[in-house]
Structure 1
Amino acid sequence: MRIASSVLTMAFVCLAGIVLAQRGPKPPKIIYPEFAFDSLTAREQLKRGKGTIKGIAFTKPKNNFGVKPLLAERIYATNTKIVLFPVTPYFDAWLALRRKKEGKHTYVYMSDEAFRFRLETTTDSYGNFTFTEMKPGRYFLQAIIGWSTSHSRNVYTGSGYSGYGRTDYYTPEYYSVGHSDRVEEFVEIKESGEVVSIKLH
Structure 2
Amino acid sequence: MRIAISFMTMAFVCLTGMSFAQRGPKPPKVLYPEFAFDSLTAREQLKRGKGTIQGIAFTKEKNSFGVKPLLAEKIYATNTKIILFPVTPYFDAWYQMRRKKEGKRTYVYMSDEAYRFRLETRTDSYGNFTFTEMKPGRYFLQAIVGWSTTHGQNVYSGSGYNGYGRTDYYTRSYYNVSHSDRIEEFVEVKESGEVVKVKLH
Separation in 2, partners of 1:30, 1:10: 34
Amino acid across the alignment from 2:199 = K
TM-score (norm 1): 0.91
Q: CA RMSD in A?
A: 2.4
Secondary structure of 1:99's match?
helix
Separation in 1, partners of 2:66, 2:20: 38
Matches within 5 A, 1:38-57: 38-57=38-57
Report the more deviating stretch, 109-118 or 164-173: 164-173
Shift of 1:163: 2.7
Amino acid across the alignment from 1:162 = N
Shift of 1:164: 1.4
Matches within 5 A, 1:1-201: 4=5, 8=9, 12=13, 16=17, 20=21, 25-201=25-201
CA deviation map 1:8-61 (0-9, x unaligned): 38962896289649x963321111000000000000000000000000000011
Shift of 1:172: 0.8
Separation in 1, partners of 2:191, 2:177: 44
Separation in 2, partners of 1:17, 1:129: 53
Can you give the 5+ residue segments of structure 2 that lack an aligned partner in the other structure? none
Separation in 1, partners of 2:166, 2:44: 77
CA deviation map 1:153-200 (0-9, x unaligned): 011111112231111111111001100000000000000000000000
Can you give the 5+ residue segments of structure 1 that lack an aligned partner in the other structure? none
